[in-house]
Copies of this chain bind each other. A is one copy, B any other.
């Protein structure tokens, strides 16, 4: 009568979404300040003032016809050039607007890229822990998800493990750094070794293997950490970007795909991306927000709040005896659970009103994800509950 698979995907919501709904119910029962909800990766810092001011000015002063009309399917030409100029300035690339395809955010960037690349039988490698929707998107275009575990000691990627997973069916590899859910940033050494493996395997199989850099958290890094720009390390690279986190505009759905001008036959690949966007029904990315972000290149929301949250939480949790991955970026803390079953641990945490996401669906049993994109006050108020939880486990 209708697609069973789509029904299943629409009915079985993610663990994250279920926990978030539970949190909302629980808050209604006992008061919102009594529930420590660390479930959702929704920015807690408002969009910067420049966004509000620019939006106001555009709406008030621009001709509504040009503001709200269709852009080309690739996106507004001036916006794409502004992004190219910014990326070139940051990373020393020599891209033009023609390398950029504007999208409705990171999820659209990924589904369009996968649809453009997919041919029958293709496999796509992801590194655990990985954003669970990768499975939905990869299987949605018909592909096979191949999971490669990152090293459990530091969540970097072991080149030999990676190499062993590549087959003649590997079409692309998704790299997500800073990582959701671990907060880990892959080091330059790790990236270099990963790219060396890819180069070797491309030669061995006589085919292209693409690198998809899923980078919505690029700007959310703390301290001196550098996030290598993958196009500078590997030619067959697509960068999937979103302004959801950097400008705190998650609901407005605005991002892009950047196709490296060194990728094999990159103009044909770009054309395939245009075709994929068309067949998925994307017409064009939201025009007002395209034009807005064209004027806000290099701006971010106040990232320092996330750093403060991270520092307080990481220091407290480790002092209570929890083992956490030191996070350099994003707004997630990844914590090893003191019992093997993360779901059971999550249930015990719930008794302390702590909502932590068991990471089994991220491909990493034995961990929980703690989203610290919440108020600093919530973090401080939650510490006694974390301490009590640690004591319950005799840490």
Q: Roughly how many angstroms separate A314 CA and B218 CA in the complex, as a whole number?
A: 56
Residue of B whose beta carbon sits closest to that of A248: B68
Chain copies in the assembled complex: 2
Nearest CB of chain B from residue A12's CB, rounded to whole Å: 9
Judged by a CB distance under 8 angstroms, whether A225 is at the interface is no
Q: Which of B2, B65, B264 contacts A272 (CB 8 A)?
A: B2
Q: What 1/0 flags go to A247-276 for Cβ under 8 Å of B? A: 011111100000000001100111111111
Contact-size category for A: 35 or more
Cβ of B10 and Cβ of A119 under 8 Å apart? Answer: no
In the complex, what residues of B have CB within 8 A of residue A384's CB?
A: none
Interface residues of A: mostly helix, strand, loop or mixed? helix
Q: Which of B9, B108, B249, B268 contacts A68 (CB 8 A)?
A: B249
Q: What 1/0 flags go to A167-208 for Cβ under 8 Å of B? A: 000000000000000000000000000000000000000011
In the complex, what residues of B have CB within 8 A of residue A249's CB?
A: 68
Cβ of A288 and Cβ of B252 under 8 Å apart? Answer: yes
Residue of B whose beta carbon sits closest to that of A14: B278
Cβ of A280 and Cβ of B140 under 8 Å apart? Answer: yes
In order of increasing CB-CB distance, the 5 nearest A-B pairs are: A251-B287, A10-B275, A111-B281, A9-B275, A10-B274
In the complex, what residues of B have CB within 8 A of residue A272's CB?
A: 2-3, 6-7, 10
In the complex, what residues of B have CB within 8 A of residue A288's CB?
A: 251-252
In the complex, what residues of B have CB within 8 A of residue A47's CB?
A: 64, 68
Judged by a CB distance under 8 angstroms, whether A82 is at the interface is no
In the complex, what residues of B have CB within 8 A of residue A7's CB?
A: 268, 271-272, 275
Interface residues of A in 277-314 (CB under 8 A from B): 277-290
Judged by a CB distance under 8 angstroms, whether A356 is at the interface is no
